[in-house]
Amino acid sequence: MKKLMLFALIAALFTVAACSTTARFKTPEGTKLVINGVPLTTLEMEKYKTSPFFWDKTGGIPYKLEKSGKTIEEGTLQSNFRIASLFWPPFAIIYWPMGFKSTYDFTEPNDKVRPNKAK
């Protein structure tokens, strides 16, 4: 009975962890970040949690950095293949294989996680 309860607990934890992707963002003062068309609040930039992405985000997750209503930077954030999608039913490998890296720093000019930066 204890083994069954332990298995159920582990399965429940894996289920909760496998159906989302999380990232943290550091942006310059006074800027607004838009990820994949969704504007983020200051609180969300500290820990943004969303559903994983489809295969079309293999090349990157689109972002825009805005200041005073004008786009000052846009491009794609480097995405990550989610190993959990191999095990998450039903067929997450088909629908939700891509996720965020852990942290994106927009205050650094040479941030390697946003290689497709366009000004």
What's the confidence (pLDDT) of residue 66?
Answer: 93
Burial 51-77 (b: 16+ CB within 10 A, else e): ebbeeebeebbebbbbeeeeeebbbbb
Pairing of strands 70-77, 32-35: unpaired
Model confidence pLDDT, tens digit, residues 13-56? 555 555 778 888 999 889 999 998 899 988 888 888 887 777 77
* CA 77/CA 84 separation, integer angstroms: 20
% residues pLDDT > 90 (the chain): 12
pTM of the model: 0.69
Task: Say yes or no to pLDDT of 71 above 80.
Answer: yes
Q: Locate 42 and state its tokens.
A: 């200051």
Query: Residue range 53-70: average pLDDT?
Result: 84
